[in-house]
Structure 1
Amino acid sequence: MSDRTIFPGLLDTGREEFLHEFLLRMAGTLPDRPAVIEPAGSERYAVTTYRELELLVRDHMAALDGLGLEIGDRVILEADLSAASIAALLACSALGLTFVPVGTRPPEQRLASIMRTTEPALYLRCPGAGDADIPSGVGLGHIEGPSLTIERAPADRARRRREPTVTDPAYVIFTSGTTGRPKGVVMSHRAVTSFYHGMMAQRLVTPDDRVANTSPLQFDFSLINVGLALGSGAALVTVPPESLRWPRRFVRVLKETGATQVNGVPSIWRPVLRHEQQGLADLDRLRGILFCGEDFPLPELRHLRALLPGVRVTNCYGSTESMACSFEEVPNPLPADVKRLSIGFAHKGAEMLLVDEAGRLIERPGLVGEIVVRSPALFTGYWDDPDATRAALLPDPVSPRSGQVVLRTGDLGHTGQRGEMYFCGRADSQVQIRGNRVELDEVRHRLLEFPGVMAAEVLVLGPADGDRRLSAFVVVSARSTDVGAAELRAHCAQALPTYMLPSELRVLDALPTTPNGKTDRESLVALVSG
């Protein structure tokens, strides 16, 4: 096995950490506490302690270390989040390999694109994975229970590196790209652990907590949850993706595992609020909810608070390029006149600023600009896409001659009187309708003000240089089934100019979601086009 150990120099507090060192540090202080709790068959749950997780990582390292892989080689991991997949990615970290999570059964064309651009040395599959044809030069392995079995060794590779560094890529996560191909966000060990330390300063959970993850492994929110749980000495509860589609099953998993903290995108709560209200109210051990990735519609948030009045709700803001940036507790009670939640201030060690279209600093409260982030947790760049990398990074607006850069988030925001930040939507959600500038979030917020509307989405359709029109989709509460398009359109007309009124408005049972749990806008477009 490699000479590297899992905990080299752990007592040297001045030394920077690798990803695996941070996530396994509790194995030395809380070895017998649960690290991962996951379903294991009908009404059964398997518990992996911190000591067992460390031993599992060592076993996986032994299986990988003899393959002749080079530091920095990419390893694709097709798996759901589990103790086994966490051990695999930590083994990659310990050996200086870069893991690329793609979830289970990724779309064929998307996987082919990721394979072409990353040129992986090894492809690892967990139970439930698909049967995609892997090129012969790529090694193939299977993770089954505690065992990692190499079915086919990778092609021989030149080895030029002797020692990993914390600036090496820890992982590459692919997001959607404007060019039609996935865009790979490269995160170094230094960036990830810097973010984790900033998150730990928020004191969101304790070693007595059980943190439920509802995000797939290819969505970096899952890695936020892994860091939050294992970095705090808490237990990570893995919620099966299929459970999220069935409100009663989702609530049962939370109840049976004793989850005290549930993290996910806001849309995971929508079916529960409609169909399993009593079960949600009966979750007497739940004390914290953290959401990220989208605005939480205020009617749904107020409904959630009514069912769980004592639960701490945290609004997490950020992007994949910095994992996240801020953690702001939602006021309890939420004032009746609040129309937009604050995202607060950046976590310790980071900073959020506003710039105008020319990249100049905006300092006046209430003036909208683009949110930029200064942080040691910024991504290294987009994999094999230097043009996109340059476009995402901006010279520091405070000290542009320093060579330091900040991340352009593409998000709009403004500051309040205390300097706190408010998210105002995506910069690219500003569109032109018949020569008039329209902010899609303004239309969406108006729809959410209608009694009984629980969620809403607004899209602009039509060519950029042609006749563009707005289409709106809403979800209403189970008690408001008589709400129709005519009433909603009249409601919008009371506050919005004619050019901002949706030309088409549909009431749906639910908004479709992507595998990451975000609203699936492509499916909504298909509803209109079909």
Structure 2
Amino acid sequence: MIQNILCYLEESEKAYPDKPAFSDEHTRLTYKELLSLSRRIGSFLGRKTGPRRPIPVMTEKNAYTLGAFMGIVHAGCFYIYLDAGQPSERLNRILNTLQADIMIADSPSLKAAGAISFAGEILDMGMLLSLGSDAEDPLLLASIRGQAMDTDPLYGIFTSGSTGTPKGVVVGHRSVIDFMEHFTEMFHITSGDVIGNQAPFDFDVSVKDIYSTLKTGASMEIIPKRLFSIPTGLLDYLCDKKITTAIWAVSALCIITTLNGFTYRVPEHLDKVLFSGEVMPVKHLNTWRSYLPDAMFVNLYGPTEITCNCTYHVVDRDFEPGSHIPIGLPFPNEKVFLLDGDDRLITGPGICGELCVSGTALALGYYRDREKTAAAFVQNPLNQDYPETIYRTGDMAYYGEDGLLYYHARRDFQIKHMGHRIELGEIEAALETVSGVGRAVCIFLEEKNKIAAFYEGEADKKMIAAGLEHLLPRYMFPNRYVNLPALPLTKNGKVDRQALRRLYG
């Protein structure tokens, strides 16, 4: 039984020592080089700090960063990637929460981060990369490994907190192992694949890229961030690197279709497209499938707190504009169910409830925050017989007549407007059926009591109103329409609703 994620790296190194594991625009690490580098870094870190301690990493996104991650795991610790482009105030809050002994950083990132305060020791990434073979300490590494447990933390990811303080989700080895054992098999990821990494390393979509690669002996190409604003360059990269697998945020896929990228070039090696993070617009999905008719397309759903994803749906048909793509069925190692407002189980079709998850893929909780952990990771109210922790996602979903799960909306995306309870997601879905509208996002401007619609496309207000006439009651019509060349995105590739509120509210 696999108890440590390093088993994936070691087995792949035995099978494919000279094969590229992780590559970026400038660097390539073979499996042999990756294992050697990570063992040297792990030995160095193991002399600096104790096991199960957090080690933040603030470096440029490249192959060497992944070597540092594996080095941290060799030291029996867990890694947290920090994006130096984030506001220094947020970085300081994260560092204050972690109370780490050491941090790994490089000079460009420290300069970009600005006024960060860290009381521990900052280790230069360049110094770690220069460690010689004599830095490796097999006895120390064996001792650390001997004390390791599969419930030990593997990584931490900080998500937004409603109070303004980021929440550090901590995920253990067992959760990732149990997820990956099913994920790679179900979606036919093998040693023959080249995975094109889009997601930032502080976004859990990247976890699927990294550990699918290590488990199967595949290769992972880190796609330069700048290419996601240059569709022709992005398509050239996908074709030239012969990318077979894209596990991307929805907005990254929509960049190509919004700008008609496929009329320039089609990445014919791409045979697996897995998307998550937001609702995939039907128009964009249908366009992707029309250009890659033989590829597998999978809609994935799940928050960071349940280790990447808890449900999936393999797309097997085109969808009509305005229809909903299922989030599908639970992964084999997870129990997914719906609870109504009185914590009663929902089993029938068409009834919305909060989506809840239990199983080995649950995160360990929020780092150094017992209160928030206790509020989100709770006893299953349906089980009065023994302890069973569930995670309450805050997402509303329902079963279709086909028995599949469908995402409805965030609990907090429901508004009250003109005396009516309205789901903003329903307006967005209707907008995206209108001719001349690409993607659309709605926000509620509470202080003005108005619904604002932001959209891409050439349609004007009159065209949109005419298109909505037979889709929505008048009280659900947006009060304001803002046409944008492109919707603003967060660093994780999701639509940045807060930016819309700040700029146009």
- Report the TM-score, using the length of structure 1 for normalisation: 0.87
**Aligned match of 1:213:** 197
1:427-449 per-residue CA deviation (whole Å, 9 max, x = no partner) reads: 21111113210000000011001
**Partners of 1:528 and 1:135 in 2: how far apart?**
34
Q: Is the 8 A contact 1:361 1:397 kept in 2?
A: no
Residue number in structure 2 paired with 1:147 = 129
Specify the alignment match of 2:285 in structure 1: 301
> Structure 2: 5+ residue runs without aligned partners?
133-143
2:87 to 92, 107, 110: 107
Q: 1:469 aligns with which of 445, 450, 456?
A: 450
Aligned-partner residue type, residue 468 of structure 2: C
**2:54 alignment counterpart:** 74
Distance 1:524 1:337 in 2: 25
2:36 to 47, 55, 76: 55
Conservation of the 8 A alpha-carbon contact between 1:142 and 1:149: no
Indicate how the Cα distance of structure 1 residues 267 and 203 shifts in structure 2: closer, same or farther if over 3 A, else same. Answer: closer
Once superposed, which parts of structure 1, at least 4 consecutive aligned residues long, lie more than 6 Å away? none
Deviations 1:151-199 (A, max 9, x none): xxxxxxxxx9993322222221101111111111111222222222231
Contact conserved, 1:248 with 1:279, CA < 8 A, in 2? no
Written as runs of structure 1 = structure 2, the 5 A alignment for 1:354-369 is: 354-369=338-353
Q: Which residue of 2 aligns with 1:43?
A: none
Number of the residue aligned with 1:155: none
The alignment status of 1:252 with 2:236, answered yes or no, reads yes
What is residue 65 of structure 1 aligned with on the other side?
46
Residue 510 (structure 1) shift: 0.6
| Aligned: 1:34 with 2:20 | yes
1:318-467 maps to which residues of 2 (within 5 A)? 318-322=302-306, 323-331=308-316, 333-336=317-320, 339-463=323-447
Q: Is the 8 A contact 2:92 2:117 kept in 1?
A: no
Change (3 A) 1:384 1:468: farther
In 1, are the aligned partners of 2:336 and 2:355 still within 8 Å (CA)?
yes
Per-residue CA deviation, residues 461-491 of structure 1 (Å, 9 max, x unaligned), is 114xxx5221000111xxxx3x112221332
Q: Cα gap change, 1:280/1:287 in structure 2, threshold over 3 Å: closer, same or farther?
A: farther
1:487-498 equivalences under 5 Å are 487-498=463-474
Say whether the 8 Å CA contact 2:102–2:123 is kept in structure 1.
yes
Q: Could you tell me whether the CA contact under 8 Å between 1:19 and 1:90 is conserved in 2?
A: no
1:416 Cα deviation after fit: 2.8
**Alpha-carbon distance in 2 for matches of 1:144, 1:249:** 30
C-alpha distance in 2, partners of 1:451/1:263?
29
Contact 2:198 2:222 in 1 (8 A): yes
Q: Aligned to 1:130, what secondary structure does the other structure show?
A: helix
**1:528/1:336 Cα in 2 relative to 1: closer, same or farther (>3 Å)?**
closer
**Amino acid corresponding to residue 103 of structure 1 in structure 2:** D
Tell me how far apart the structure 2 counterparts of residues 433 and 180 of structure 1 sit (CA, whole Å): 26
* Alignment root-mean-square deviation, CA: 2.3
What is the CA distance between 1:79 and its match in structure 2?
2.8
Aligned to 1:519: 495
1:418 offset after TM fit, Å?
4.6
Structure 2 CA distance for aligned equivalents of residues 373 and 201 of structure 1: 22
Q: Which moved more, 1:56-65 or 1:340-349?
A: 56-65
Specify every segment of 5 or more residues in structure 1 that has no aligned partner in the other structure, as ranges.
1-13, 41-45, 151-159
Query: Matched residue of 1:491: which SS?
Result: helix
Bigger drift between 166-175 and 516-525 goes to 166-175
* Alpha-carbon spacing, 1:490–1:171, altered in 2? closer, same or farther (3 Å): same
Hey, what's the Cα distance between the residues in 2 that align with 1:140 and 1:293?
33
Q: How far has the Cα of 1:134 moved from its partner? A: 5.3
Structure 1 Cα separation of the partners of residues 40 and 201 of structure 2: 21
Paired letter, 1:288: K
Alignment counterpart, residue 315 of structure 1, candidates 299, 306, 316: 299
Q: Secondary structure at the match of 1:35?
A: strand
Residue range with higher mean Cα deviation, 137-146 or 506-515? 137-146
Q: Once the 2 structures are TM-superposed, how far is the Cα of residue 80 of structure 1 from its aligned partner?
A: 4.3
- 1:423 deviates by 1.1
Q: Secondary structure at the match of 2:234?
A: helix
Which has the larger displacement, 517-526 or 385-394? 385-394
1:137-286 alignment runs, 5 A limit = 137-144=119-126, 147=129, 163-278=147-262, 281-286=265-270
Please give the secondary structure, in 2, of the residue aligned with 1:452: coil
Q: Structure 1 CA distance, aligned partners of 2:340 and 2:383?
A: 16
> Sequence identity of aligned pairs in percent?
27
Residues 336-371 of structure 1 show CA distances to partners (whole Å, capped at 9, x for unaligned) of 477111112111211211110122111112211111
Secondary structure of the structure 2 residue equivalent to 1:219: coil
User: Is the 1:174–1:183 contact (alpha carbons within 8 Å) kept by the matching residues of 2?
Assistant: yes
Shift of 1:246: 1.4
Residues in 2 aligned to 1:148 and 1:134: alpha-carbon distance in whole angstroms: 26
TM-score (norm 2): 0.92
Q: Is the 8 A contact 2:208 2:247 kept in 1?
A: no
Alpha-carbon shift at residue 407 of structure 1 (Å): 1.1
Q: 2:360, 2:430 → 1: CA distance?
A: 38
Partner secondary structure for residue 195 of structure 2: strand
Equivalent AA in structure 1 for residue 314 of structure 2:
E
2:77 matches 1:97: yes
Residues 43, 75 of structure 2: 8 Å contact kept: no
What amino acid sits opposite 1:55 in the alignment?
A: S
Partners of 1:168 and 1:290 in 2: CA distance: 28
What does the per-residue CA deviation read over 1:107-150, in whole Å, with 9 as the maximum and x for residues that have no partner?
Answer: 21110100111111111124641324554631111223971679
Q: 1:488 to 1:277 in 2, by over 3 A?
A: same
- Alpha-carbon contact 2:271-2:295 (below 8 Å) kept: yes
Helix, strand or coil: the match of 1:454? coil
- Please report how far the alpha carbon of residue 280 of structure 1 lies from its aligned counterpart in structure 2 after TM superposition: 6.0
Cα 1:489–1:127 change in 2 (3 A) is farther
Question: Which shifted more, 245-254 or 211-220?
Answer: 245-254
Q: Which amino acid aligns with 1:95?
A: A
Paired with 1:144 and 1:515, the residues of 2 have a C-alpha distance of: 26
Equivalent-residue separation in structure 1 for 2:465 and 2:320 (angstroms): 24
Count of residue pairs the alignment pairs up:
491
Which SS does the other structure have where 1:496 is aligned?
coil
**In 2: Cα distance, 1:280 partner to 1:176 partner:** 37
1:229: Cα distance to partner?
2.0
1:390-417 deviations in Å (ceiling 9; x for gaps): 2212322442332102111111111134
**Secondary structure, counterpart of 2:186 in structure 1:** coil
Does the 8 A contact of 1:22 with 1:193 survive in 2? no
Pair 1:121 & 2:101 matched: yes
